[in-house]
Amino acid sequence: MRVPTTLEIAPVAGEKNRLTWRMTYNDAQRGKTVKDYALVKPDSLAPAMYWVDENNGLFVSSTYFDNVFYESYSYGEQNFQVRVEHRGDHIVQELFVQPQTPINPKTENPFKAFPTMTLQKAVLYKK
């Protein structure tokens, strides 16, 4: 399924360490959805560490390495991993979702396997 998407990245006036990170999804079935985030780089964090401010009191830790932002968090009974990569003239954003309950929970082995529930990938090109 393809959903036309727009990403706007811009400095926030008067805040040197904050960028607007606004995703607009124009889904034919669900209509328009705007996710209004901010990418924050406090001076107190290590050089590769950022916060994604979801503008609702939630902050997600984001690590920047080799042109890629990596995020990992849980919500409810699900684990989320996000990867946002800058590749030349475009950005590739991937979301990977798994349940917190392993598919082999009865094993005594500390190794646990988790099924994939959702994979989403967006490729965003600069206009």
Q: Count other Cβ atoms within 10 Å, centred on residue 24.
A: 14
SS3 state of residue 95: strand
Alpha helices in the chain (DSSP H): none
Q: What is the Cα–Cα distance from 24 to 43, expressed in whole angstroms?
A: 29
Number of domains observed in the structure of the chain:
1
Q: Is the pLDDT of residue 127 over 80?
A: no
Q: Which residues are CB-neighbours of 43 under 8 A, at least 6 positions away?
A: 17
Which domain covers residue 65, as residue numbers?
Answer: 5-125
pTM: 0.85
* Residue 104: band (very low, low, confident or very high) from pLDDT cuts 50, 70, 90: confident
Q: Is the pLDDT of residue 126 over 90?
A: no
